[in-house]
Structure 1
């Protein structure tokens, strides 16, 4: 790599890191390009020259932090229902490890007028979950009359509702995963074939116990 290309990559890295820091600190995923340039130590024109737009910078931040796919690929869980919950557990780990950043992003999801909603709730994201739920259906875990695309949308509505509550403080980080998992387990049990229902009943009981424990300590 030449010196010019190396310099360009370094400036991109600084801009992405500055964007992440500003989103955390300000609670605003919209970003001020002037503040971003100052934080990254570049000219005001540089972020536009390197990325093209503010939305492209936010997308680059999301891609830069997304070790998710690699980590999920390393999971050894073969059970298709367990893989749905394993994917959720891994996502929750990211959210709880950087709460201010992710709370800001999920708050932006509720703003239908902004372009961030489409970046976060992307077609690639839906495709990932459709593959997971589709694998469970192919394994016979889900009733054959249930449409996988519609089921994924319903599961995602559970997640988005809980994430919005978390972003405004109505759900604590301690309550986050069991709240999502209780919703998932209740929904999946309603459409699961008989052989798969005991495992989901166990997840319902575990999630309820964690939420009741968290409520008792509140």
Structure 2
């Protein structure tokens, strides 16, 4: 075989892989658009293939199933760990709260997409739930809680995994309220952070408790200001209607 032929043979697999990755990204982008538009992860594979400009067989060949496509979308849009690496609050407790804000930022940047995914999280048999609550994610939060413990901010005997589960309960319950439309978007992050701060305050060592309590107080004031602002807006909107009711016929 000539050097030219050998070079072509070596490049061919690379071109094939690049082509597969390009098609994969087109399918992921099409799936994201369809989830946002329809409010459902029950994608039609035929419609997905048409939107992505590929054959009907391609999504199955590259992903295997509809659920795997949805999980692929989730994995590709979540560069959470890379972005968190640029967050540098010095205190370990602040890093936990910063992680909440970063996660919530994703959801509020694209609420139509993420509210759909979180509805699937509450479907206990769904693949999306397993994709969000996975070992890598647990290891990340356990690492942050381990840093809090190592700083001396937790009482002896507090188990990091049990503490993480309690924080998870707060996160999921607040997300349910958001998905149901019972929580204003601007209150989402502060509500989760307040729950975290209160739990961490209960688990805190004597030396750290006052500092964590001060964070909880500050977050509570933030939430109260949000609620007061929304109440004022609502009353301002109701005032013209109430004034009009007194006009003579």
Q: TM-score range by the shorter chain?
A: over 0.9
Question: Retained in 1: the 8 A contact 2:32–2:73?
Answer: yes
**1:107 aligned to which of 119, 122, 131:** 119
**2:196 aligned to which of 161, 184, 189:** 184
Q: Give CA-to-partner distance per residue, 1:91-132, whole Å, 9 cap, x none.
A: 111111111111111111111132221112112111111111
Q: Give CA-to-partner distance per residue, 1:51-90, whole Å, 9 cap, x none.
A: 1222222222122112211111122223111111111111
- Separation in structure 2 between the aligned mates of residue 168 and residue 34 of structure 1, nearest angstrom: 30
Partner residue, 1:97: 109
In the TM superposition, what are the counterparts of 1:73-152 in structure 2 within 5 Å?
Answer: 73-152=85-164
Larger radius of gyration: 2
Question: Retained in 2: the 8 A contact 1:181–1:203?
Answer: no
Q: CA deviation at 1:12?
A: 0.6
Question: Retained in 1: the 8 A contact 2:201–2:209?
Answer: yes
Q: Which runs of 5+ in 1 are unaligned?
A: none
Partner residue, 2:218: 206
Question: Retained in 1: the 8 A contact 2:71–2:127?
Answer: no
TM-score w.r.t. length of structure 1: 0.94
Q: CA deviation at 1:188?
A: 0.4
Q: How many residues align?
A: 218
- Separation in structure 1 between the aligned mates of residue 209 and residue 26 of structure 2, nearest angstrom: 49
Question: Retained in 1: the 8 A contact 2:193–2:219?
Answer: yes
**1:39 aligned to which of 51, 57, 71:** 51
Bigger RCO (CA 8 Å, 6+ sep): 1
User: Please, what is the CA RMSD of the aligned residues?
Assistant: 1.4
**2:70 aligned to which of 42, 50, 58:** 58
In the TM superposition, what are the counterparts of 1:9-24 in structure 2 within 5 Å?
Answer: 9-24=21-36
Q: CA deviation at 1:210?
A: 2.0
Q: Secondary structure at the match of 1:111?
A: coil
Q: CA deviation at 1:184?
A: 0.4
State yes or no: 1:67 paired with 2:79.
yes
Q: CA deviation at 1:197?
A: 1.8
TM-score w.r.t. length of structure 2: 0.83
Q: Which runs of 5+ in 2 are unaligned?
A: 1-10, 231-249
